[in-house]
């Protein structure tokens, strides 16, 4: 299963959701890979704290794309770009700031299906692959949607997010029709939910009333997530009994039946 976590709006918890769902999957025994396509590298730094030491690395998604421009991929396994984390069953294909410079070159060479081809090879080794995307509908996001089975949409509960959501859904549907007929919207993940506040409940109910697939499990706002980022340790390993951790576990269980 290849899942893309995507929202064109920044600050919705996209990388946190990607990394923590992947960690729960790995903790449950699934061979799991995180592919980080965001040049901000948040998922990579979260899961590979010692990776960003100022040195150049031969293993990254940027190098994967760069090598495709040099026709090196014909005899190079995409697994060679993958790093193991400190956690059992959890690997990362990390991002790199070089992605900023590669986009125009990749578009000019029509490499939009290159990631799909790499993911199809990697899916033979992993039970679950989670792809973190940039907060924009660009070459890298489109590449991910073309190669994915499903898309998860993180959603923070305000009216601006609700308005932006429909443009996002149009982009996903257009990708499905033009490039990937099997792509499906798996669901909307409500993040930083305040159950006692009136507006978040109303916004979520509006989405449900409009027939959108909103997951029953909602993720709370918690300083524990900040601690998790600071320690570069996913919640399932940092605080397995914490309320937010258990919400991720319940959300993961929902994914298995979605």
Report pLDDT digits (tens) over 1-41.
999 999 988 788 999 999 999 999 999 999 999 999 999 99
Tens digit of pLDDT for each residue in 136-176? 999 999 999 999 999 999 998 776 777 789 899 999 999 99
Inform me whether the pLDDT recorded for 44 exceeds 60.
Answer: yes
Give residue 52's pLDDT. 65
Cα separations (Å) of 64 from 45, 95, 115, 160? 18, 10, 9, 35
Please tell me the distance from the alpha carbon of residue 86 to that of residue 110, in angstroms, as a whole number: 36
Give residue 194's pLDDT. 84
Residue 97 — pLDDT band, cuts 50, 70, 90?
confident
Q: In the predicted model, what is the mean pLDDT of residues 199-220?
A: 92
Flag the least confident range among 47-51, 190-194, 223-227: 47-51
User: pTM of the predicted model, to two decimals?
Assistant: 0.95
Cα separations (Å) of 7 from 14, 29, 85, 137, 227? 7, 28, 26, 8, 24
CATH superfamily placement of domain 2-257: P-loop containing nucleotide triphosphate hydrolases (3.40.50.300)
Give residue 238's pLDDT. 96
Inform me whether the pLDDT recorded for 123 exceeds 80.
Answer: yes
Higher pLDDT: 4 or 197? It is: 4
Give residue 74's pLDDT. 56
Domain boundaries, the chain: 2-257
Cβ count near 153 (within 10 Å): 27
């Amino acid at each position: 299963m290849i899942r893309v976590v995507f929202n064109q709006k920044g600050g919705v918890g996209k990388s946190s959701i990607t990394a923590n769902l992947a960690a729960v999957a790995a903790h449950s025994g699934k061979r799991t890979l995180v592919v980080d396509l965001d040049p901000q590298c948040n998922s990579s730094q979260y899961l590979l704290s010692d990776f960003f030491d100022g040195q150049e690395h031969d293993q990254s998604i940027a190098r994967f794309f760069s090598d495709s421009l040099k026709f090196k991929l014909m005899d190079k396994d995409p697994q060679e770009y993958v790093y193991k984390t400190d956690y059992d069953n959890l690997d990362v294909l990390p991002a790199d700031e070089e992605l900023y410079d590669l986009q125009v070159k990749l578009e000019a060479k029509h490499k939009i299906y290159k990631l799909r081809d790499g993911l199809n090879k990697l899916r033979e080794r992993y039970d679950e692959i989670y792809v973190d995307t940039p907060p924009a509908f660009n070459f890298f996001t489109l590449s991910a949607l073309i190669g994915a089975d499903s898309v998860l949409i993180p959603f923070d509960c305000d009216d601006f997010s609700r308005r932006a959501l429909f443009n996002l859904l149009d982009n996903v549907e257009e990708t499905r029709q033009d490039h990937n007929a099997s792509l499906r919207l798996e669901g909307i993940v409500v993040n930083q939910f305040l159950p006692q506040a009136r507006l978040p409940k109303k916004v979520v109910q509006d989405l449900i009333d409009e027939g959108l697939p909103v997951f029953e499990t909602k993720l709370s706002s918690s300083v524990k997530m900040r601690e998790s980022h600071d320690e570069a340790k996913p919640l399932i390993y940092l605080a397995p009994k914490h309320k937010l951790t258990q919400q991720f576990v319940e959300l993961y269980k929902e994914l298995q039946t979605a």
